Structure 1
Amino acid sequence: MVMDRKDFGCCYSLDFSGGTLLWNSERDDSPPLASDVPWVFDRRVQQWRTDAMYYATLCVAIRSDRRSIGDRVYRWKNVWWHRPQLPAPRKEQQLAVDAWYRAGQRGTIVMPTGTGKTEVALQIMLATKTATLVVVPIRELMHQWHRRIMKSLGIDAGLIGDNLYRLAPICVTTYHSARIHMPSLGNRFGLIVFDECHHLPARHLRDAAVMSAAPLRLGLTATLNDDVDRRMDVEQLIGPVVHESSVQSAKGKTLADYQIVRIPVHFTPQERETYEAFGRIVRRYAAKHSTTSKRFDWKAVCRLSNSDLESRRILQAYHACRDLEHRAVEKLRVLGELFQLHRDEQVIVFVGSNAMAIDVSMRYLVPCLLSHSGKRERRDVLDGFANGTFPALVANRVLDEGIDLPDVKIAVVLGGLASTRQAQQRLGRIVRRSGERRATLYEVVLEDTQDVVRFRRRRRNDAYKKVRRRNL
C-alpha cells in the first residue's frame, strides 16, 4: 500500500522524526490536525510533536482537511511477490483474515497454538503487498519466521537482531531490537505484525508499536492477557480483537486430539520436614506484617530485602520452598518411568527452574535449553531434536512460545507458573496436527504444596477442562 503524497509548495507538512511525527507550519503555531491526537509543543524545534503510532488517524484528517498539507512521513513501497507458494487458507484462517479487513486492517487475532496464526499473517502480507515488519519475542522465532517467509512467499526477508542487521522490504526482528531501532525504521513499513503480541504492553517493549508509523497493524496470540488494562493497551497499540477461537473448538480438527494426565507425587520425609520448616518461617513473617500493615505484599518484601536482614531471610526461605517443589526426588523418579513408557517417542520436559532442568539433563543425559544458552548451542540442540538425534529435550521457559515441533506428541510438566497462558503455550507445543496421532501432556504435581494451587489455576484455561488422574 502506497499513499498519495502531496508536499509540493505546501504551507503545512507532516514529518517523521525519531519515532515521532512533527507538524510543520509556516504560518502559525496553533494546534494541528486531529484534536483527539495527543500533540505536545516541542519548544526545542518550535513545532508540534506526537507519537508515530497516530499516523493512520492523521492520514484521515489530512484527506478531509482543506489546507494544502504535505505528507513526508512514509518511506515504504509496494512489494511484488514473484513465486508465492502459500496454500489456500482453511475456513477458520479465512474467517480471521476477513475479520481483520472488516476492522479496517488493524486488530488482533487470537487463535490456539497450532491452528495456523502464521499462515493467517502470511495471507495478509500476500494480499496487502506492502513493506512489512514482523516482530517476535525471541531469536529462534525470528529465524523460524525467516524460513517460513522464504518457503511460502519466495522472499529472503531481512533480519534485525541476534547480531544481524540486514534491512529489506520484508523484515523480521525481535521486540527488543525493534524498540532500539524503531526511531530509524518507524516509517519504512506499511504493515507491522506483532507475533505473541501479549508481550507488547510491557513498559520496555511498547515503544516498538508507539514509534512505528505503520497504518496497518496485526497482532497474533494464543492467549491474550486477562488483565483489563493490558488488553486495553494492546487495543490502543494494535487494534481490537477481531477474531477469537478456542482450543476446544479446534481439538481433533485443526489440532491433534489430546489428553491431559495428572500424576500426583509426594515429598520424601526429609524433604517434607525441610519444606515445613521453611514454610513456618514464611507464614509467621506474613502473619506478623499483614496485621500491622494493610499494604503488605511480596513486592514490599523484595524491596526491603536489599536493606533489611529479616526480609532477606524470609525471601531466601520462600525461594527454598519453591526450589524444593521444583526439584523433588519423586518428580525425577516419575519422569524416568514416563521415559520408559514412551521410549519409542520423543518427549519434551518442561520444568520450573534452571536448576531442575540441569538435574534432569544430568540424570537422564538429555540436552537442556536455558535462557542463557548460546546461539550455536540452541541451534544444534533444536536441530538434533527435530531430526530425531535426541529422544528428549528439557527446558525451563525457552520452548514456551512459538517453536514448531509438529512431530512431538508427548510432554511432561514438572514445574512452572500458575499462568493459564503458559499452560496453553506448553500444551501448544504438542497439539500441532501430524497424522492421526494423539498428544499427551503429563502434569506431575507435588501434593500438599503450592504445586497443587498452581495446577488448579492452570485448569481455568478451557484447554484443561478434562484432566485424568494417574499414579506411577
Structure 2
Amino acid sequence: MAKKASYHEQFGPAVEEPWVELCFDSGTLIIKGLKDSDFARLDTKAFRLSFDPRVGVHRCPAFVYRSLLGELLGKGLSVVDSARGYAEFDREDLVERSPRVHQAEAMQAWLSAGKRGVVVMPTGAGKSHLAVMAIQDVARSALVVAPTLDLVEQWQRLLKSHFGEPVGAIGGGTHDPQALTVTTYDSAAIHMERIGSKWGLVIFDEVHHLPSDMYRWAAEAAIAPFRLGLTATLERVDGKHAVIHEIIGPTVYEKNTRELAGDVLADYETRVVEVAFSETDAELYAASRAEYREFVEKEGIRMGGRHGWQNFLRATSRSREGRRAFKAFQRQKRRALGHENKLEKVREILCEHPDESVLIFANDNATVYALAELLLAPALTHHTPLAERAEILERFRAGRYRAVVTSRVLNEGVDVPAASIAIILSGTGSVREHVQRLGRILRKEEGKRAILYELVTPDSAETFVSQRRREHDAYR
C-alpha cells in the first residue's frame, strides 16, 4: 500500500515561525504551524477546531473562515492567508434602478450585521434586486445558489442584464465557474469541497432548503466571508432553520405580505370556498376512510402525534391488511382533493373572471392532467420539458392562454407572468407552499386586485389541512 503523503509534501514547506498559514482543503480549513500553546488560547468549540493526525495539522469547517481569521489576528498571530481564492473588483451596474424603501432598509440591515444574514420578504417584493445590490457593495467574486435549473437560468439572465459580463453556471451538465456564477443546491453540495474558496459572497436563494443534510454542505464547505440568504418563509416544521442562522447569519430584516400589499404588492383577498361531495363521491370517500381508520384504531396509531405518519407507514408495510389500509388512505385523500364537484367549481370560477389570467394549483399530477383535459388548458408539471414550459409561460404572458394548471413546479421562485387569480384545488398542509402560491399572483399592476380561491371539501380530512396551511400573517 502506498505511503500517505505528509502534510508538508501535500501543501508545501512550513512558514517560518511565528507565522501560521490558513489553507483551503476539501471543504475545510487547515492551519499550518499552529503551536499547542496558541491552540489552547483559541475557542476550539466555536470553530469546531481539532487536530487531524492524518496530516498533522489543525482542521475546521470552511465556513468559519472569517471569524477564525479574525480570532488568529486578534491573538497576535501573524497569518499567511492561502485559503482565499476569490478576487476583488468594482462592478458597475448597467441597469440604474433606485431601491424601494423596504429594499433599502433590508440592505442597510444586512450591512449593519456585517454583510451576513437572512432577509425574509414575500414573492414579488424584489429579493433579487437586493442580491444585485449586495454584489455591487461587496465587490468580490459572487456565487448565487438556487434550487432548480429554471432558477439558475433566470438568475443568469438577471445578473447578465445588470452587469453585462460573463455569468458562469454549474449544474445540468454545465461546469463553467466565473467571477459571477449561478449553481443549484445539488451541484453546490457536490462541488463545493473543490471550489469553495473561489467566492467572497454567496447568496442562497430560497434559503429554507439549506438545512438538509446534503445541502448544508454547500454553505459549510465555502469560505465566503459575506453571505446572504433570501426566502419568503424561513421557518421549517422540523426546527432546522436554526442551522441557517449558524452558517449564514441571523434574520436581519423581515417584511410580510400584509405589510407590502397595496404598495409594493397588489391588493388581494383570499376566499375559502367549501365544495361538498356529490352523493356518489361522498359514499366512496366514506368507505375508503372507514377502512383506513379501522386499521389505524386497531394498531393504536395517533395520526395527529409527532410520529403518527411514520408509525402508520411502518404498520402498513407489515401485512396485507396494512397495505390495503394504505391504499384506502390514498383513495380517500384523492377523492377529497379532486372530486367531481371541485372540478366543476373551477370551471365556474373561470367563468366569473373571463378577462383575467388564472393559475390553478393541484397536489398531484393526475389531477393536473384531468383538469387540464376538462378545461382544455395547458398543464405544467415536473415532467414538462424546459423548452415546452418556457413556451407555455410565454403564451400565458401574451394572453394566448387564459389559464395554466400546475402541481408544484411553479411554487417556488420561477418568474411567472402576472396573473391575478389563483385557484388552489388541493395541496399539502405546508404553510410555505400556501404562501408561495399566493405570491404567484401578487406582482403589482395598476388597478389590480388579486384573488386567491381555496377549494375545500367540508366534512373531510382536508378541512384540518386547510386550517393548518393558513397559519400565516398573509391569511389573517
Alignment TM-score > 0.5, same fold: yes
Query: What corresponds to 1:258 in structure 2?
Result: 268
State the distance in 2 between where 1:26 and 1:131 align.
29
Contact 2:86 2:198 in 1 (8 A): yes
Query: What corresponds to 1:397 in structure 2?
Result: 408
Asked whether 1:117 is paired with 2:127, we answer yes
| Partner residue of 1:23 out of 22, 31, 46 | 31
Offset, 1:143: 1.1
State the distance in 2 between where 1:128 and 1:298 align.
46
1:57-78: CA deviations, max 9, x gaps?
Answer: 1111122132332211111002
Counterpart amino acid of 1:105?
K
State the distance in 1 between where 2:69 and 2:101 align.
33
State the distance in 2 between where 1:311 and 1:403 align.
40
Deviates more, 1:286-295 or 1:376-385: 286-295
Query: What corresponds to 2:248 in structure 1?
Result: 238
Counterpart amino acid of 1:84?
L
Q: Which runs of 4+ in 1 moved over 6 A?
A: 291-296
State the distance in 2 between where 1:380 and 1:189 align.
34
SS in 2 for 1:229: coil
1:273-326: CA deviations, max 9, x gaps?
Answer: 111111112222222222799997220232344443333222221111111122
Deviates more, 1:156-165 or 1:250-259: 156-165
- The verdict on how the C-alpha distance between 1:127 and 1:407 changes in structure 2, with shifts beyond 3 A counting, is same
Asked whether 1:426 is paired with 2:437, we answer yes
State the distance in 2 between where 1:345 and 1:295 align.
42
State the distance in 2 between where 1:135 and 1:103 align.
21
Contact 1:350 1:415 in 2 (8 A): yes
Query: What corresponds to 1:470 in structure 2?
Result: none
In the alignment of these two chains, the number of paired residues is 459
1:227-246: CA deviations, max 9, x gaps?
Answer: 47322111002111101111
Asked whether 1:197 is paired with 2:210, we answer no
SS in 1 for 2:453: strand
Asked whether 1:12 is paired with 2:20, we answer yes
SS in 2 for 1:270: helix
Contact 1:81 1:155 in 2 (8 A): no
State the distance in 2 between where 1:307 and 1:457 align.
30
State the distance in 2 between where 1:204 and 1:27 align.
34
Query: What corresponds to 1:129 in structure 2?
Result: 139
Query: What corresponds to 2:323 in structure 1?
Result: 312
Counterpart amino acid of 1:118?
S
Contact 2:360 2:424 in 1 (8 A): yes
1:308-364: CA deviations, max 9, x gaps?
Answer: 333322222111111112220111111112222222222111111111111111222
| Partner residue of 1:184 out of 186, 190, 194 | 194
Query: What corresponds to 1:468 in structure 2?
Result: none
Offset, 1:200: 0.8
SS in 2 for 1:85: coil
SS in 2 for 1:366: coil
State the distance in 2 between where 1:304 and 1:69 align.
58
Counterpart amino acid of 1:245?
K
Query: What corresponds to 1:469 in structure 2?
Result: none
Query: What corresponds to 2:9 in structure 1?
Result: none
State the distance in 1 between where 2:340 and 2:22 align.
64
Counterpart amino acid of 2:446?
G
Contact 1:29 1:47 in 2 (8 A): no
1:111-155: CA deviations, max 9, x gaps?
Answer: 111111111111111111111111111121111111111222323
Counterpart amino acid of 2:104?
Q
State the distance in 2 between where 1:442 and 1:295 align.
30
Asked whether 1:84 is paired with 2:94, we answer yes
Contact 2:122 2:255 in 1 (8 A): yes
Percent same amino acid at aligned positions? Answer: 34
- The verdict on how the C-alpha distance between 1:312 and 1:129 changes in structure 2, with shifts beyond 3 A counting, is same
Query: What corresponds to 2:8 in structure 1?
Result: none
- The verdict on how the C-alpha distance between 1:56 and 1:228 changes in structure 2, with shifts beyond 3 A counting, is farther
State the distance in 2 between where 1:174 and 1:26 align.
36
SS in 1 for 2:47: coil
Contact 1:97 1:120 in 2 (8 A): yes
Question: What does 1:278-357 correspond to in 2, within 5 Å?
Answer: 278-290=288-300, 297-357=308-368
Q: Supply the RMSD in Å over aligned alpha carbons.
A: 2.2
Contact 1:403 1:429 in 2 (8 A): no
Deviates more, 1:27-36 or 1:445-454: 27-36
SS in 1 for 2:416: coil
1:42-87: CA deviations, max 9, x gaps?
Answer: 2322222211111111111122132332211111002332452140
Query: What corresponds to 2:7 in structure 1?
Result: none
State the distance in 2 between where 1:280 and 1:427 align.
34
State the distance in 2 between where 1:52 and 1:292 align.
43
Offset, 1:41: 2.7
Deviates more, 1:293-302 or 1:209-218: 293-302
SS in 2 for 1:23: strand
Query: What corresponds to 2:11 in structure 1?
Result: none
Deviates more, 1:213-222 or 1:266-275: 266-275
Deviates more, 1:41-50 or 1:352-361: 41-50
SS in 2 for 1:187: coil
**Which 5+ residue runs of structure 2 have no aligned equivalent?**
1-13
Question: What does 1:72-111 correspond to in 2, within 5 Å?
Answer: 72-111=82-121
Offset, 1:27: 6.0
Offset, 1:8: 6.4
State the distance in 2 between where 1:376 and 1:118 align.
23
Contact 1:107 1:242 in 2 (8 A): yes
Query: What corresponds to 1:4 in structure 2?
Result: none
Question: What does 1:367-386 correspond to in 2, within 5 Å?
Answer: 367-386=378-397
Asked whether 1:166 is paired with 2:176, we answer yes
State the distance in 2 between where 1:189 and 1:370 align.
34
State the distance in 1 between where 2:63 and 2:150 align.
27
- The verdict on how the C-alpha distance between 1:332 and 1:291 changes in structure 2, with shifts beyond 3 A counting, is closer
- The verdict on how the C-alpha distance between 1:295 and 1:52 changes in structure 2, with shifts beyond 3 A counting, is closer
